[in-house]
Structure 1
Amino acid sequence: MDTGAAVHHLQTYERVWRDFDLINEAQPTKANGAPGRLDPSGQTAGIRLGLPFCRDLTPDSVDDPELSRFIAAHPQSTYSTVQLACTFTPDADDEYTRATLQVFLSRADDQNTPPLPVAYSMSPRRQVDTGTPVTFTLTASVLFVEAAVEMTRPLRRDKVFLQAMNIKLPDPGWEFRRTPKSRIDGPHDLALVTVAPTNVPVHGRLAVNAEVRRKGMPGWFRTRPEDAAALTFTITG
């Protein structure tokens, strides 16, 4: 499917931002093994997430004829776009050295048998260490094109700032890495296309992990279990 001439843009929407605390994986414990009290100044980090905006793709909802025909030719599957964003705002004494934003997909009918919902495509797939912020316009067809592109050019790991992971799996995500020229800082737009059986709603859940150097000391932080409901969303299917 050649969708290079695509003109169907992802739908403009009013982004909803929400701030979340990340807790330190190495939580202090009391002598009896019970959880100790966290020091908010030293045991939490923060991230701002643009909550997911989801939309099913139908033959009539896209402007690209070839993409429309592709969707129509697969009536047993529902393709949906999920747009989200994240903003890293490290404190003065903090430096994010690595971070992952992961999406866990599952069938809302609680059946764990195939076909399972997966990420058919993701954008961006990769950003290299240029030291210059990368901007791009997301289109539904661009996402489908990227699904067919295999990245074969080898790159040194320390040159890759952003890498999509687990494409074609139920737990896709993006990994950010501090590089010599690029800090993990500021906003990032992300999007994926999911595919699931038709008429099967899909649940999604976001999770964030971050390695933060605070005053030179590394720590690994993650989203709090009590925020699970706020990080969950539904794709209609």
Structure 2
Amino acid sequence: MIELEAPVLPARRYVLAADPERVERTAETGPVLASRIALSPPAVIPLGEALIGDDAELRAFWQAASGAHAFDFLSWVLTFEPAAGEQFERAWLTVQFETGDASAPAIAWSMQPASLAHNVKLSRTAKLGAGLQLLGLEASLGEEQVRERAEHVVRAFRLRSAAPYWAFRRTPSAALEGDFALRMIVRRPLDRGVDGRFDVRLTINRRRFLLFERRDQLDQPAALGFRLGDG
């Protein structure tokens, strides 16, 4: 095992605009949303023999793979900045790789996080206290009456493909806000460069005066391009 620093480059902030054709309920406010996202370009560290050091298992893998492929370590941050009265419901960040040759693709070799989840206690019973107040699980329930369920906030999909993505979702116990550090090992052909691209799509709920709720999806994804290799 080796440890790598995970640098983060300065982020770009994006103004979000809703697609009127995809708004679920009509609202009086305009299409421009007050919430923002920020996305940093990936910091790229080419992985070479010097970084492997004395790790015998990694060295054996490297010697078997390095004749045809190169590997890069990518790190970046996606930030959700919800405004008052708006909340991010779901988001998808897709990473697309293009080598110009379908027979020699670049792929996501490893993704982190693979998943982030909260364990939520569920119960089939409830207990009332003084004043008809519902008591918490720890005050009213035995272990045999409680089970746990994982509520996933982030999950990675399409590992070992040229278009991997992360899916983010708000849960009852966790808002979709703040920084999410994302990391990836990319395997690419040794003899060519790779054009990469981030695409981010979002669903946002707006709440106003407790009278209506609308769900907006972006007309176009927030996008950011980058380049790997010297080809």
State the TM-score, normalized to the length of structure 1.
Answer: 0.72
Does residue 91 of structure 1 match 2:88?
Answer: no
Q: State the partner residue of 1:71.
A: 62
State the TM-score, normalized to the length of structure 2.
Answer: 0.74
Alignment CA distance shift 1:222-1:126 (3 Å): farther
String of CA shifts for 1:143-167, please: whole Å, max 9, x gaps. Answer: xxxxxxxxxxxx96x7111100111
In the alignment, which of 197, 211, 225 is matched to residue 189 of structure 2?
197
Q: CA deviation at 1:115?
A: 2.3
Q: Letter of the 2:206 partner, please give it.
A: R
Larger Rg: 2
Q: State the partner residue of 1:118.
A: 107
Q: CA deviation at 1:42?
A: 3.5
Q: Is the 2:44–2:74 Cα contact (8 Å) retained in structure 1?
A: yes
Q: Letter of the 1:161 partner, please give it.
A: V
Q: CA deviation at 1:201?
A: 0.7
Does residue 24 of structure 1 match 2:15?
Answer: no
Runs of 4+ in structure 1 deviating by more than 4 angstroms, as ranges, are none
String of CA shifts for 1:29-81, please: whole Å, max 9, x gaps. Answer: xxxxxxxxxx9963344201122111221122234342233122112011111
Secondary structure of 2:40's aligned partner? strand
String of CA shifts for 1:84-114, please: whole Å, max 9, x gaps. Answer: 111101001111110111111111xx22x21
Alignment CA distance shift 1:55-1:222 (3 Å): farther
Does residue 235 of structure 1 match 2:228?
Answer: yes
> What percentage of aligned pairs have identical amino acids?
23
Does residue 166 of structure 1 match 2:158?
Answer: yes
Q: Letter of the 1:85 partner, please give it.
A: V
Does residue 221 of structure 1 match 2:211?
Answer: no
Q: Is the 1:25–1:221 Cα contact (8 Å) retained in structure 2?
A: yes
Q: Is the 1:71–1:79 Cα contact (8 Å) retained in structure 2?
A: no
In the alignment, which of 32, 37, 57 is matched to residue 43 of structure 1?
32
The 1-side partners of 2:219 and 2:16 are apart by: 5
Gaps of 5+ in 1: 1-5, 29-38, 132-154
The 2-side partners of 1:182 and 1:53 are apart by: 28
Secondary structure of 1:232's aligned partner? strand
Q: Spell out the pairing of 1:119-134 with structure 2 (5 A cutoff).
A: 119-130=108-119
Q: State the partner residue of 2:4.
A: 10
The 1-side partners of 2:225 and 2:29 are apart by: 25
Q: Report the number of matched residues.
A: 190
Q: State the partner residue of 2:43.
A: 53
Gaps of 5+ in 2: 23-27, 121-147, 208-212
Secondary structure of 1:129's aligned partner? strand
Q: Is the 1:87–1:186 Cα contact (8 Å) retained in structure 2?
A: yes
The 1-side partners of 2:175 and 2:110 are apart by: 26
Task: Name whichever structure is richer in strand by fraction.
Answer: 2
Q: Letter of the 1:67 partner, please give it.
A: L
Q: State the partner residue of 1:209.
A: 201
Alignment CA distance shift 1:120-1:12 (3 Å): closer
